Structure formats: structure tokens, C-alpha cells
Amino acid sequence: MPLTSIIPSLHKARAGAYAVPQFEIFEPSGCEDVIRALEEKRAPAMLGVFSKWFDKPHSHALHAAVRELGARAGVPVSLILDHGSSVEQCLRAIDAGYTDVMYDGSTLPFEENLEHTRRVVEAAHRAGVGVEAELGHVGSGADYQAYGAQRKGFTDPAHAAQFASETGVDVLAIAIGNAHGAYAGDPLLDCALLEEIARRIPIPLSLHGGSGLPEQQFRQAITRGIAKVNIATDLVRSIAEAMAGAAHTAQPSFFKMFDALHDTMHAKCCHYLDLFGTSGRA
């Protein structure tokens, strides 16, 4: 089936108390492993392209590979721009055939973030494209003890309700103690805050910084309103370790390293699809 917006799948996920993963991708061969996992598990998912990767030369080749692979898959597959850095970049992603875009204005003043997001939503919805935005600010795992652990950047529930209502955004990424990258220290999500945000707004909620969270915290967040979880750091770290292991042998081989990449990407995707309850939902 052709690539499709993930928004309908996210509404089903929120209603069914499971979550749909977004797997970050960086090159075409890894996309095959994600799609293979989705088909085996009969699960929907998003393939995310980070904003800086989107602007690299020849990134259109990655977009084309995802479109071709997704068209051959029998499950819902979305191609989403991750952390779009500007309204203009989101518009370019829409023109490039992305089925969903994330605009990240989380470091801007509230009103400016709201207005920029509204502009993206208006253009995206005309094209049948879904939009995710971020309110509050999800910091870096490396700074977790000084930032997220101190409740800095947390999403305000009243602001979240206003933001969702006035922008018409489809998905909202929130900050509740989560962080991008590897956590420095033990992460702890504020599930009471999550419940309050979920009570105030009906749209699916997104959790960035999934790598490194304990499985129990994933389950708690998903049952309280998280319908989308981003996974990137765990993928690249696990793949790097597997490839390094394949290289440091008595007879190192490029092909064994490549096999390690494919096997690890596939296994990790299957793990998260099972953990989030996505398997069998396509």
C-alpha cells in the first residue's frame, strides 16, 4: 500500500492503550529492515528523517527508497520529517511527498510557536499531511540531571489545551521528564502530569527520547495517553556495537558487518513493536 499519514493509526492507538513507534532512519538499506519487521509483526509505524538529515545533499534518494518500500508493504507506513526546524522546511517536506511532518518550535516563545505551528497545519492539511508539534521542551539526555530531572521545560497542561485548540495540530510531543539521547542518570517520567495533559486534550500524545527508558515506564506512559514513541539513539548505538563486534574478529568482513546492521535493526524494531503493543494492529 502507498505511504500514508499515521494520524488514523495514532487515534486507534490512544483509544486502544498501545503506542505506534517512530523509527529514525539514515540510509536506504536500514529501511528494508524496518519494513520487514512491520510486515512480520503486522504493525503500523513511522520512518523518521531528522531535519538536518533532510537537508543533506541527495536526501531525495532516501525519500524515494522509503516510498518504494512502503508501497510494497501491506501495513500502514508513514514518512515523517522529525524536528522540522522551520515552517519553510516543513513545506519542502510536504512537497517532497512526506505523509507527516513535525514542526519543532519548542524553544520559541509560546505565541510564536503557536503561530508557526498553525501555518504548518494549514498548509499540511490542504495536502492531506498530518502534523506533530512540540510544547514544553524535551532536552538532552546528557544534561538530564540539570534539566529534565529538575522539571525544566515541562509541558504546561493549560498551555497544551490552548495550543491544541488554536493550532489544530494532530499530535503533540510533550515534556514530562523524557530526554533526547542517552540519559545521564535514571529517567523518571511524571505520569501524573501526563494524565492531566491527556485529560485536557483529545489528540494523540507523543513521547520523544524513548531510548533508555525502563520498560515499566513505557507501559505506564502508554496506558496514560502516549500513543507515539520515538526511537533513535538505541537503534544507532546498538547497530554500531553490533558492527564493531563483527569487525573485531579474526577475519573481519564488510559483509558480516552489513549483516550485523540488518539483523540488529530488524531485531530492535521487532522488540519495540512487541513492547508498545503495536504488533498485530495493522
Q: How many CB atoms lie within 10 A of CB 111?
A: 9
Asked whether 84 and 98 are in contact (CB, 8 A), the reply is no
Q: Distance between CA 254 and CA 260 in Å, rounded?
A: 10
Phi, psi of 84 (to 5 degrees): -50, 130
259 a catalytic residue: no
Catalytic option among 33, 82, 100, 170: 82
Residues that are catalytic: 82
